[in-house]
């Protein structure tokens, strides 16, 4: 048998392997936000639900303060640079044992496993880090409001309910104006504040 004939059966296999790698790369890219590199909402949701099986899981919601003013004052390119910087810092601050995604606009979410019960201190440190100027634009900076909730405090609640609790806490943190992370209250939800967001987006 010639060398060429011996190689022919392997050609389709090599072709499929290359195609599979290309397809995997395209799918991974589609699940990543193009600006920040974080997981998109759907990809984040799938990973977050798996992490919530751990009793030490904590859900965090982050929203950039005064973002509209940043865009108006410095331009959208500066606003994009700020979002990318905040995303990188969030990713660093929630790993290992966590996942972070961009839910849309200037809002981010994370699920972290609090293995050593230091989440309050970690989030206070993270809030200070997030408020630092962007490395590429020293004049562009703002605070980031953080709300968080321990999944164990609300047994049986799914990711959507825990995000609503974290959102409620984040909104309270934003209204306080102290750029201090706020833990979700115990008891029943006051109701989703999502309907109030359009009026406060970038204005708080």
Active site (catalytic) residues: 106
113 strand-pairing partners: 57
Give backbone dihedrals phi and psi of 201, rounded to 5 degrees, phi first: -55, 115
| Whole-number Å distance between alpha carbons of 34 and 45 | 17
Residue 162's CB is within 10 A of a number of other CB atoms, namely: 25
Read off the DSSP letter of residue 97: S
- Angstrom CA distances, 193 to 86, 168, 177, 201, stand at 23, 6, 17, 12
| Whole-number Å distance between alpha carbons of 174 and 168 | 10
| Whole-number Å distance between alpha carbons of 106 and 61 | 11
Residues in Cβ contact with 173 at an 8 Å cutoff, skipping those fewer than 6 apart: 145, 146, 147, 179, 180, 181, 182
Contact by Cβ (8 Å): 66, 145: no
| Whole-number Å distance between alpha carbons of 153 and 9 | 58
């Amino acid at each position: 048998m010639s060398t060429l004939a011996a190689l022919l059966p392997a050609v389709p296999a090599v072709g499929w392997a290359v195609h599979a790698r290309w397809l995997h790369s395209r799918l991974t890219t589609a699940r990543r936000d193009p600006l920040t590199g974080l997981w998109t909402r759907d990809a984040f949701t799938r990973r977050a639900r798996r992490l919530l099986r751990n009793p030490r899981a904590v859900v965090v919601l982050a929203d950039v303060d005064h973002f509209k003013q940043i865009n108006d004052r410095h331009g959208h390119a500066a606003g994009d640079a700020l979002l990318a910087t905040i995303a990188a810092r969030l990713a660093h601050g929630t790993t290992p044992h966590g996942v972070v995604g961009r839910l849309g606009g200037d809002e981010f979410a994370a699920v972290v496993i609090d293995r050593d019960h230091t989440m309050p201190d970690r989030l206070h440190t993270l809030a200070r880090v997030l408020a630092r100027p962007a490395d590429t634009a020293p004049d562009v900076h703002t605070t980031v409001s953080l709300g968080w909730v321990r999944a164990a405090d609300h047994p049986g609640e799914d990711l959507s309910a825990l995000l609503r609790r974290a959102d409620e806490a984040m909104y309270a943190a934003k209204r306080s104006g102290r750029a201090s992370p706020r833990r979700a209250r115990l008891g029943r939800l006051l109701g989703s504040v999502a309907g109030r967001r359009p009026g406060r987006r970038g204005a708080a």
